[in-house]
Amino acid sequence: MIPEIGHFALALALALALVQSVVPILGASRGNRLWMRSARASALGQFFFLSVAFAALMRSFIVSDFTVRNVVENSNSLKPMLFKVAGTWGSHEGSLLLWVLILTIFGAGVSVFGSNIPETVKARTLSVQAWISVGFLSFMLLTSNPFERVFPPPIDGNDLNPLLQDFGLAIHPPLLYFGYVGFSIVFSFAVAALLEGRVDPAWARWVRPWTLAAWMSLTAGIALGSWWAYYELGWGGWWFWDPVENVSFMPWLLGTALLHSAIVTEKRDAFKSWTILLAILTFSLSLLGTFVVRSGLLTSVHAFAVDPERGLYILMLLAITIGGSLTLFAWRAPTMEPGGLFKPISRESGLLVNNLILAAATGTVLFGTLYPLFLEAVTGDKISVGPPFFNASFVPMMLPLIFVMGAGPYLSWKRADLGGVLQRLRFVAGLSVLATLVIWYLTEGGPVLAYVSILLGFWLFLATLREWAMRIRLFDVPFGEAMRRARNLPRASYGMTLAHAGLAVVIFGFVGSSAWKSEQVVFVKPGDEISIAGFDVTFEGVEQVRGPNYFADRGKLTVRRDGKEITVLYPERRSYPVAQSQTTESSIRSTLAGDLYASLAAPTSEAAKASGAWTLRILYEPLVFFIWLGAVLLIVGGGLSLSDRRLRVGAPRRTKSVPVGSVPAE
């Protein structure tokens, strides 16, 4: 009964979406306010019905209702409760349901919080959002119904892929989807603006909070995914340039560009058609991600079960959404009047360089990701493009970006005083070089690129701090006065400082853990000792342990430094009998200075197993913790910026007193 309610709720949501995709937009062109306002009810209604459907599916997972095919295929009665809940979005159908749920959350969000948006823009935006809803709801109902029953019901389910039975990965998809799908509303805003034929600073201000929210979630989702890969896959790496990682990274790169170009549109009324294009492309790349993961187009470790029929349907959706919006762009964008002029040395130029580099980097990642497909189509050769391509092409592109990032905030709008900026940055540059020399002395050798990256990391970090100090005139005025200024600084400015500093921290993590990593793969018998990066690790042996739905071989490693015991690591190798697969659970001693990482591989043969010999992978990755620390700074920075008064979307009472609606409603 409950699954049928869920199914029915989906159908009702589709009906509402159909209404919403026509009525408000017609109302906007005819000036019918009632029709325009109907969007609010239908957007909230869609959100309600999707919540009902989602809750129905989640209930089926929680009570292990094995009459539902999706539950049978992705759950098991022995699975811990957290993963039963997470199983709701562990499959193609369930994750699609989550996707559409988030789509409706953003639609409902705009209709509730967007009280400062003119009614025509809001109506058009919500109609466009409903077009996307219609596409994906019909896709779900026609090809991927999550509520399909199975008869006769089996006694137990097939269990969720054990690799996915992990806390980090349980919350990774929702965050990632909030990011992906969050860009949908930005897309809808862009299409609405094109239909309206007008983009102005106010438009940029409405779009920015949604972009920020989506960007923050995407950052968190990607960081979590990389953290998961780091400790779960047992290779000690945090990024593999896998196609699915790339498709989540591309919207992030373009989304970052969009965040910055929207600032220019907001402050200077420039970069208008570019901002619109970025908004369209960012969401297009999110859709591309959805398509690649679900169509089996590229080879990847993450892909869902492949079904060509579904692939074709999504490709059709993509063609309509992306093709349609870009056609509209080609038609309308040239008519947009260009905005404020600026000199080559100015904040605008800095942000332009930022945008060009980010767009070029996105293009590079896109090309590298799709190149195997292109080549196979043209010549029939099959190749795979791996980390060497991306490291050689993407990393050097980022270096100038980091440089500009450090200097950019010093530049003033329109025309900057280059001499003054150079003077302010002299000290920062000197200190960065000095710090890098110290690192060079301490590390005794390493790749040149690593030192250049470290130098730029210091540059960005120090320049960001210096810029903050300059704003509050630290050391120029009495300390109390500087603190008062610090309190009065807008939150958006703190957001920028934190996010930029966060990226510098991330860079230290990237460089430290890739350039100065030590790794050993050894065969060990109980009692063997391994020395790595100043640690002496003793392999004590392996014991069998039992979990709720798995068995595990758990190794015990005693770690000593200078003869003193500092910790014990317990890497595991788990076997999930129902899902018939194994996972490695690495054991990590994490400190700010670096991670000592141990993972256990299967015994090489029966004979080796009998004698107690195991393959052990031990790594020392300096500074790797900084990657996630920096990601947290990025997210907190985004959050601070989002909570800035200027953008606060959820505070209609306050925004009424501030003349935000500089553009009168039509």
Partner 1 sequence: MSRMIALVPLLIAVVVGAFFLWGLDPDRNPNAIPSVLISQPAPDFDLVQVEGLDVPGFSRADLTGNDGPVVVNVFASWCVPCRAEHSVLTGFVERDGIRLFGINYKDKPADAAAWLKELGNPYERIGSDFSGRAGIEWGISGVPETFIVGPDGTVLYRYVGPVVGDKAIKTFTKALVQAQALKEGQS
Residues that bind partner 1 (CB under 8 A): 273, 277, 280-281, 284, 291, 295-299, 308, 311-312, 315, 318-319, 322-323, 326-327, 329-331, 333-334, 370, 372-374, 376-377, 382, 521, 523, 601-602, 604-605, 607, 615
Please report how close the Cβ of residue 608 comes to partner 1 at its closest, in angstroms: 8
Closer to partner 1 by CB, 422 or 521: give it: 521
Closer to partner 1 by CB, 137 or 616: give it: 616
Return all residues near 631 (Cβ < 8 A) that are at least 6 apart: 219, 220, 222, 223, 502, 506
**523 neighbors 604 (Cβ within 8 angstroms):** yes
Please report how close the Cβ of residue 266 comes to partner 1 at its closest, in angstroms: 22
**3 neighbors 68 (Cβ within 8 angstroms):** yes
Closer to partner 1 by CB, 330 or 442: give it: 330
Other CB atoms within a 10 A radius of the CB of residue 478 amount to: 10
CA–CA distance from 579 to each of 78, 148, 575 (Å)?
Answer: 12, 21, 9
Please report how close the Cβ of residue 332 comes to partner 1 at its closest, in angstroms: 8
Closer to partner 1 by CB, 88 or 295: give it: 295
Please report how close the Cβ of residue 641 comes to partner 1 at its closest, in angstroms: 28
DSSP 12-65: HHHHHHHHHHHHHHHHHHHT-HHHHHHHHHHHHHHHHHHHHHHHHHHHHHHTT-
Please report how close the Cβ of residue 329 comes to partner 1 at its closest, in angstroms: 6
Please report how close the Cβ of residue 579 comes to partner 1 at its closest, in angstroms: 16
Return all residues near 563 (Cβ < 8 A) that are at least 6 apart: none
Of 106, 366, 459, 401, nearest in space to 257 by CA = 401
The conformation of residue 202, written as its DSSP 8-state character, comes to: H
Closer to partner 1 by CB, 189 or 451: give it: 189
Closer to partner 1 by CB, 375 or 515: give it: 375
Please report how close the Cβ of residue 272 comes to partner 1 at its closest, in angstroms: 12
Closer to partner 1 by CB, 224 or 365: give it: 365
Closer to partner 1 by CB, 126 or 285: give it: 285
Other CB atoms within a 10 A radius of the CB of residue 260 amount to: 19
CA 603 remoteness from chain centre: 36
Please report how close the Cβ of residue 341 comes to partner 1 at its closest, in angstroms: 17
Please report how close the Cβ of residue 236 comes to partner 1 at its closest, in angstroms: 15
Closer to partner 1 by CB, 236 or 372: give it: 372
The tokens for 188 are: 């809808």
Please report how close the Cβ of residue 377 comes to partner 1 at its closest, in angstroms: 5
* Phi, psi angle pair for 58, to nearest 5°: -65, -40
Alpha carbons 233 and 213: distance in angstroms, whole number: 29
Mapping DSSP onto H, E and C, the string for 548-593 reads CCCEEEEEEEEEEECCEEEEEECCEEEEECCCCEEEEECEEEECCC
The tokens for 177 are: 């989807």
Please report how close the Cβ of residue 519 comes to partner 1 at its closest, in angstroms: 12
Of 605, 628, 578, nearest in space to 77 by CA = 578
Mapping DSSP onto H, E and C, the string for 150-189 reads CCCCCCCCCCCCHHHCCHHHHHHHHHHHHHHHHHHHHHHH
Closer to partner 1 by CB, 59 or 198: give it: 198
Other CB atoms within a 10 A radius of the CB of residue 620 amount to: 22
Can you list the alpha helix ranges (DSSP code H) found in 63-166? 69-74, 81-87, 92-113, 119-143
Closer to partner 1 by CB, 373 or 663: give it: 373
Closer to partner 1 by CB, 280 or 631: give it: 280
Of 175, 173, 147, nearest in space to 54 by CA = 147
Please report how close the Cβ of residue 578 comes to partner 1 at its closest, in angstroms: 18
Phi-psi region of 431 (alpha: psi -120 to 50; beta: other; left: phi over 0): alpha
